[in-house]
């Protein structure tokens, strides 16, 4: 697998997006964010998305330069119309809005409409921690992404609906980013290509029977991904998935029933920030989170484990390594990026 430096990938990404019609600022924000995900080993949300975004600009799904406007607001809330621009650009604007309101009011949240794919969800609450804030975020997806069956059902009714939070510490922030399903669809696709089985208890075939065969998931007819906690405790993952759905769509007033489904790719982002200054204080919060993380980490390791792994620690380790050794990019991914470049009239 070819290996690239983060800087080379950033440059390629910026050039590609600019050639598609994005402004210099947009190209920079989007390319940097995708490369950051690749650095952390979250390849499904990394540079593999560059060609997809380029396609979406060409087919009109993504509208470069679209204005991000606050449709409705109070001192602590905002409903934000992201105008169908780059999802990452819209989400970063939501971060600014929420951070400013939280620093003024102690607490703030925003929801979005017309927001395209935002990439790595954890990135947005993480950015709030740089301002001493605690952040919580979720994103739902429109109906064509409804791979996940509800508890007791066998037909897709929810997306993998991720949930993320981040808290500042005296060192690196804690960043939790999880789907509310047993596995991400992107990972099943990788296993299909490899000819590997899916971990047991993760998916159903179209008849609702448990399977480990990724081919039986894709069908057609397509199967489903089980909610997180399945088989025994899947009601919990289902409940978390519904939470994400409600915050991402119903709150903004976006219908998601088959009849009222909005067209086009999109994420419904919910982002909340709490300023600990409104409670026990910003410095004390940072110190107590640090102390608690340290206390948790003093647990003796479970047999076979290397010790306690705090949220975000594995990603941070991968980031260190990839900064040193470079970022592996699959041949097919690089081929698609170059092809997207050629369609936009540049050679990468």
| The one segment of 29-37, 61-69, 251-259, 317-325 that binds a second copy by CB under 8 A | 251-259
Q: 55 vs 277, which CB is nearer to a second copy? A: 277
Residue from 7, 59, 60, 232 in contact with a second copy (CB under 8 A): 232
Stretch that binds a second copy, among 5-13, 27-35, 239-247, 321-329 (CB under 8 A): 239-247
Rounded to 10°, the helix 24-39/87-105 angle is 90
Residue 250 binds a second copy, judged by CB under 8 A: yes
Q: Least Å distance between CB 115 and a second copy?
A: 14
Q: Does 260 participate in binding a second copy (rule CB under 8 A)? A: yes
What is the CB-side half-sphere exposure of residue 339 using CA atoms within 13 A?
10
Options 46, 268, 276, 341; binder of a second copy; rule CB under 8 A? 276
Residue 98 interacting with a second copy (CB under 8 A): no
Q: Does residue 239 bind a second copy (CB under 8 A)?
A: yes
CB-CB contact of 103 with 212 (8 Å): no
Sign of the alpha-carbon dihedral angle for 17, 112, 148, 233: positive
Residue 108 has which token pair?
């703030």
Count interface residues toward a second copy (CB under 8 A).
90
Query: 221, 295, 331, 345: which one contacts a second copy (CB under 8 A)?
Result: 295
By CB under 8 A, is residue 190 in contact with a second copy? no
Site for a second copy in 3-62 (CB under 8 A): none
Largest CA-CA distance found in the chain, in angstroms, rounded: 57
When asked if residue 317 is in the footprint of a second copy (CB under 8 A), the reply is no
Q: Does 229 bind a second copy (CB under 8 A)?
A: yes
Residue 67 binds to a second copy (criterion: CB under 8 A): no
In the window 68-97, what residues touch a second copy (CB under 8 A)?
72, 74-77, 79
178 forms part of the interface with a second copy (CB under 8 A): yes
Which CB, 51 or 242, lies closer to a second copy?
Answer: 242
- 136, exposed or middle or buried, with CB in 10 Å at 0-12, 13-18, 19+? buried
Gap between the Cα atoms of 90 and 96, Å rounded: 10
Q: Is 196 in the site for a second copy (CB under 8 A)?
A: no
**199 binds a second copy, rule: CB under 8 A:** yes
The closest of 229, 120, 133, 234 to 177, measured between CA atoms, is 120
Whether residue 312 contacts residue 176, with contact meaning beta carbons closer than 8 Å, is answered with yes
Task: Tell whether residue 188 is a contact of a second copy (CB under 8 A).
Answer: no
CB 344 within 8 A of CB 16: yes
Q: Using the rule CB under 8 A, which residue among 153, 264, 326, 328 binds a second copy?
A: 153
Compute the distance between CA of residue 110 and CA of residue 24 in angstroms, rounded to an integer.
27
Q: Which of these ranges, 48-56, 299-307, 315-323, 324-332, lies near a second copy under the rule CB under 8 A?
A: 299-307
Q: Which helix (H) or strand (E) holds 33?
A: helix 24-39
Roughly how many angstroms between the first and final C-alpha of the chain, as a whole number? 17
Shortest separation between residue 13's beta carbon and a second copy, angstroms: 29
Sheet strand arrangement including 174-178: 69-73, 77-81, 107-113, 268-274, 134-140, 163-167, 174-178
């Amino acid at each position: 697998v070819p290996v690239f430096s983060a800087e080379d990938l950033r440059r390629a990404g910026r050039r590609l997006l600019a050639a598609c019609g994005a402004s210099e600022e947009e190209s920079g924000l989007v390319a940097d964010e995708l490369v950051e995900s690749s650095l952390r080993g979250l390849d499904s949300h990394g540079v593999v998305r560059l060609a997809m975004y380029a396609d979406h600009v060409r087919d009109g799904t993504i509208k470069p330069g679209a204005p991000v406007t606050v449709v409705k607001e109070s001192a602590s809330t905002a409903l934000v119309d992201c105008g169908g621009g780059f999802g990452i650009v819209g989400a970063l604007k939501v971060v600014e809005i929420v951070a400013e309101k939280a620093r003024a009011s102690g607490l703030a949240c925003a929801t979005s409409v017309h927001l395209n794919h935002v990439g790595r969800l954890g990135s947005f609450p993480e950015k709030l921690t740089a301002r001493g804030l605690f952040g919580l975020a979720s994103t739902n997806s429109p109906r064509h992404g409804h791979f996940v069956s509800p508890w007791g059902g066998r037909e897709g009714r929810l997306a993998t609906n991720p949930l993320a939070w981040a808290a500042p510490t005296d060192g690196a922030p804690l960043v939790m980013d999880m789907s509310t399903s047993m596995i991400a669809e992107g990972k099943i696709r990788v296993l299909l290509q490899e000819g590997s089985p899916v971990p047991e208890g993760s998916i159903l075939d179209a008849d609702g029977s448990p399977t480990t065969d990724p081919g039986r998931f894709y069908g057609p007819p397509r199967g489903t991904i089980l909610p997180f906690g399945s088989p025994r405790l899947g009601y919990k993952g289902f409940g978390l998935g519904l939470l994400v759905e409600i915050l991402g769509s119903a709150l903004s007033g976006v219908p998601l029933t088959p009849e009222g489904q909005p067209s086009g790719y999109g994420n419904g982002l919910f982002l909340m920030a709490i300023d600990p200054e409104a409670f026990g204080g910003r410095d004390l919060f940072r110190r107590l989170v640090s102390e608690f993380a340290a206390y948790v980490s003093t647990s003796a390791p479970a047999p076979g484990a290397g010790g306690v792994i705090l949220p975000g620690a594995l990603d941070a380790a991968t980031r260190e390594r990839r900064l040193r050794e470079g970022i592996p990019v699959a041949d097919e991914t690089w081929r698609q990026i170059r092809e997207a470049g050629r369609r936009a009239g540049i050679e990468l």
